[in-house]
Amino acid sequence: MAEKLRLGIAGLGTVGTGVVRIVQRHAALIAERTGRAVEITAVSARTRDKERGVRLNAYAWEDDPTALALRPDVDVFVELMGGSDGPAKAATEAAIAAGKDVVTANKAMLALHGQQLAETAEKNGAVIRFEAAVAGGIPVVKALTEGLAANEMARVMGVMNGTCNFILTEMQNTGRSYDEVFREAAELGYLEADPTLDVGGIDAGHKLALLSAIAFGTQVDFGAVELEGIEKITIEDIEQAADMGYRIKLLGVAQMTGRGLEQRMSPCLVPATSPLGQLEAATNMVVLEGDSVGQIVLRGAGAGEGPTASAVMADVVDLARGIRVPTFGRPAQGLTKPTPARSSVPAPYYMRIELQDKPGALARIATVLGDAGISIDRMRQYGHVDPTAPVLIVTHKTSRSALNDAIAAMPATGVLASDPVAIRIEEV
């Protein structure tokens, strides 16, 4: 049997303790499947005496994660601290500089610094693996870098934040408002310390940027991801979408177009009968479309101790087997700097507009849409309550820029009772 593969784990929160449990519980199984023993030699966390429910006394302790990364008895640095900068980045850079492989679940760090870290790793003969950073237990990074490596990818799409999917499906299933379900998500511990990372689409945007880089051979460009959260979605939107045969999801889409690389994370209407439309609770789903394979749907738990720790260990097992793939599936020096698409591929849009109950109000809105080159597919009024008249409009395919121009012109009509809401209808 080959020499042992020795791990140093920085971060002993939910995921870190989950990794420890897997190594302790399945040491023999892992050795059988890799041909070498995998063991933990040292760990690091902010608090040494905290009760974590796992045995740690057999491992060396380092208060400083950088010191852990540089220990001579650590072959693979497992970074599970989180944070785009600070100790996580410093320790990762130290490990790479020492020629050590890194396994991380840190989507924010890679979304912001992935290109630099990947180039440095390759110069030093090191590998960065990050299956756990994208979709919890779903092996989507491995699918893109290995299983679909012979495909030219057409589109990557998915629901990549379980918290948002929980909120939207609970609204759908219970008829409760966004604020009510948001409070429940907070009580259940689903929300990040800064909730805007979840409901604002930032967390999912990080994941989309990483998958996009792998799929299209580009440098990670999180700054070009168009972000829109779910905060404006109302129970009325949920109900009206259902009446039309749709469900609302926070959907990430990345595709290479003639205008450049389109990356967006925003609420979309998807067919209720589609795999994405049927996705419930805090589950994730990623849809991959390749020129040879067609469409592949991957579904599973997007967070939690077990699924995320499983993804971490999948990377460790690959390293133990000697499988070494460039960080983003191809050499970092060869990744091109993407040209961001200035506008998204045209699509139909759902619009909810609350109008003042005045004669000719609807005609004025229709005129504004027509002046922007937007034609109406269907339109109806619902729930008329004086002094306002809510109106639902579904457009034919149009660009988001044209729609934005129309929305910007609507206040001048003098008939708006509140800001319009526009949600893309995505073909899936």
Would you name the residues annotated as active-site residues? 207
Nearest to 267 by CA among 424, 63, 393: 424
Sheet hosting strand 2-10, strand order edge to edge: 60-61, 36-44, 2-10, 76-79, 101-104, 128-129
Count the residues in the chain: 428
| Cα–Cα distance for residue pair 247/240, rounded to 1 Å | 9
Cβ-count burial 108-139 (b if 16+ within 10 Å, e if not)? bbbbbbbbebbbbbbeeebbbbbbbbbbbbbb
Q: Which residues pair with 20 in a beta bridge?
A: none
Nearest to 169 by CA among 245, 264, 243, 242: 242
With beta carbons less than 8 A apart as the criterion, state whether 423 and 269 touch: yes
Angle between helices 162-174 and 235-243 (to 10 degrees): 70
DSSP per-residue letters across 376-415: EEEEEE-S-BTTEEEEEEEE-SB-HHHHHHHHHHGGGGS-
Using CB atoms within 10 A of its CB, is residue 409 exposed (0-12), middle (13-18) or buried (19+)? middle
With beta carbons less than 8 A apart as the criterion, state whether 151 and 250 touch: no
Cα–Cα distances in angstroms (integers) from residue 263 to residues 114, 343, 349, 355, in the given order: 17, 10, 18, 33
CA-based torsion, 233, 237, 241, 243: positive or negative: positive
